[in-house]
Structures are given as C-alpha cells and as structure tokens.
C-alpha cells in the first residue's frame, strides 16, 4: 500500500505513521526526519536546508524529490510506504505522480489528518523527542510514565529547533498557502480520506486504520 499523509504541522502525521509502520511493516518515509538527519550530520544538503527549516519555510523541491527517489528505491519500500510530510505543494505532488508512473506504481490513498488549528500550537510547543530512544512525546499530553521512560533510558527530552512559537506560526501559514491545496488535488483524484485527528491517540489510530481499510 502506498499512502500520503496530509495535515498541518502537529496534526499527528508522524505519530500515526510510526504506529502503522510498527503494526504493518510499511516504512514511514518522513522528509522532515530525513532532512533533520542531514542537518545533524552536517552534510552539504543539511547545511543548505538548516536555515530554511529553522525559519519554517519549505526546502527546495529538487532536494526533497532527490531524497524521496532514493528512499523509495530501498528494498523495505518495495511492499509500499507511508509518505509523511511529502508532497508539500502542487509541484511536489505532480513530481510524485510522475515518479510513480515511471516506476509503474500507483498511490492508493491520501489521508488528511484534520485538527482544529487552536490545538496545534499546544501540541507543537509541547513536543519533545527522547535523545536515546527517538520516541516523540508531549509535555502536555503524554502520561508521566511515557515521559519518565526517556529519563529511565538515560536520555533527555529535546525540543525541535522549529518548535518555537514564531516559527510554528510561519509553518502554519506555509501549510495553509502551499500544502492545503493538496486536499483538493487528491479529492479530485478520488484518493482522499479524512480522519478526525483530535482526541486520544489510540482513538485517532482506530479511525486512521478504518480510513485505510486496515484490520
């Protein structure tokens, strides 16, 4: 199955894609994660992308398309994948269509994670990633046990550089301007499913599985 996850920053795309990956073995392909790795490794691509990401703008289409091409050619993506954070504008969506057509593959679903804008700021300012396990948690929404698990593993809860209020505001504007038009794009292709992504993470996951016809 080949899936595109759509949704504003903080709508839970990464959280839910990781669950699908764990339960169904479909790799989560997150352009944000690939870019953050390149930044951390100080690769030439990472050095180029850092400023753009810290400002909450989009990295150039050719950079992300190159990363996607390389990633979906890997063996673990042969059975399918979940694209998380890609495509991000109409031009990237057209490039994805062309890439899949070249590979004689098709997209099965695009899922929109729908969340009220007011709660996104709290989710994003509260997000932390465990430095040892990589587990993403939230200081406002995760249980004390989930937060403690990171400390118990010897890790620290780290905040993403772009999870500050000013950058979040810009990311939300960039989403509205450049990414939200993809909802119509996939609707017209008959691929769109919408998931109410507010409320308990487990409940959202059940709704997502139903939208993807996964048992």
Q: Which residues bind ligand AP5 (CB under 6 A)?
A: 7, 9-15, 31-32, 35, 52-53, 56-59, 64, 85-86, 88, 92, 123-124, 126-127, 136-138, 141, 162, 171, 199, 201, 204
Q: Which is nearer to ligand AP5, 54 or 76 (CB)?
A: 54
Collect all residues with Cβ–Cβ distance below 8 Å to 35 and sequence separation of at least 6: 45, 46, 49, 53, 59, 64, 67
> Cis omega before residue 81 (within 30°)?
no
Sign of CA dihedral 44, 45, 48, 53: negative
Which residue is at the shortest CB distance from ligand AP5? 32
Residue with tokens 């929109």: 112
Closest approach of ligand AP5 to the CB of residue 33, in Å:
6
Residue 186 Cβ, how far from ligand AP5 at the closest point, in Å? 15
Q: Which of 2, 13, 19, 71 is catalytic?
A: 13
Query: Is residue 1 exposed (0-12), middle (13-18) or buried (19+ Cβ within 10 Å)?
Result: middle
Q: Is 155 left (phi over 0), alpha (psi -120 to 50) or beta?
A: beta
What single-letter DSSP state applies at residue 59? P
The active-site residue out of 48, 109, 122, 160 is 160
- What is the smallest separation between the CB atom of 136 and ligand AP5, expressed in angstroms? 5
The minimum distance between CB 55 and ligand AP5, in angstroms, equals 8
Q: Is 46 helix (H, G, I), strand (E, B) or coil?
A: helix
Catalytic (active site) residue 2: no
User: Is 127 in the active site?
Assistant: yes
11 or 192: CB nearest ligand AP5: 11
160 in active site: yes
Instruction: List all residues 6 or more positions away from 152 whose beta carbon is below 8 Å from its beta carbon.
Output: none
User: From the CB of 20, what's the least distance to ligand AP5, in Å?
Assistant: 12
Selecting among 88, 123, 193, 207, the annotated active-site residue is 88
Please give the order of strands across the beta sheet that includes 28-30. Answer: 28-30, 81-84, 2-7, 109-114, 192-196
Pick 132 or 173: Cβ nearer ligand AP5: 173
Active site residues: 13, 88, 127, 160, 171
């Amino acid at each position: 199955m080949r899936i595109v996850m759509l949704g504003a920053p903080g709508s839970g795309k990464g959280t839910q894609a990781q669950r699908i990956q764990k339960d169904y073995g479909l790799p989560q392909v997150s352009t944000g994660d690939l870019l953050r790795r390149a930044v951390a490794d100080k690769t030439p691509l990472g050095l180029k992308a850092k400023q753009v990401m810290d400002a909450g703008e989009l990295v150039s289409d050719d950079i992300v398309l190159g990363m996607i091409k390389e990633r979906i050619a890997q063996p673990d993506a042969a059975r399918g994948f979940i694209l998380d954070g890609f495509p991000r504008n109409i031009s990237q969506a057209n490039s994805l269509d062309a890439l899949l057509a070249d590979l004689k593959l098709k997209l099965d679903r695009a899922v929109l994670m729908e969340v009220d804008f007011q709660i996104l700021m709290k989710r994003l300012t509260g997000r932390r990633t465990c430095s040892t396990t990589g587990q993403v948690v939230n200081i406002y929404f995760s249980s004390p046990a989930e937060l403690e698990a990171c400390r118990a593993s010897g890790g620290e809860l780290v905040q993403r550089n772009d999870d500050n209020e000013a950058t979040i505001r810009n990311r939300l504007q960039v989403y509205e301007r450049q990414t939200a038009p993809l909802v119509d794009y996939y609707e017209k292709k008959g691929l769109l499913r919408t998931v109410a992504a507010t409320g308990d993470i487990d409940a959202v996951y059940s709704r997502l599985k139903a939208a993807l016809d996964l048992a």
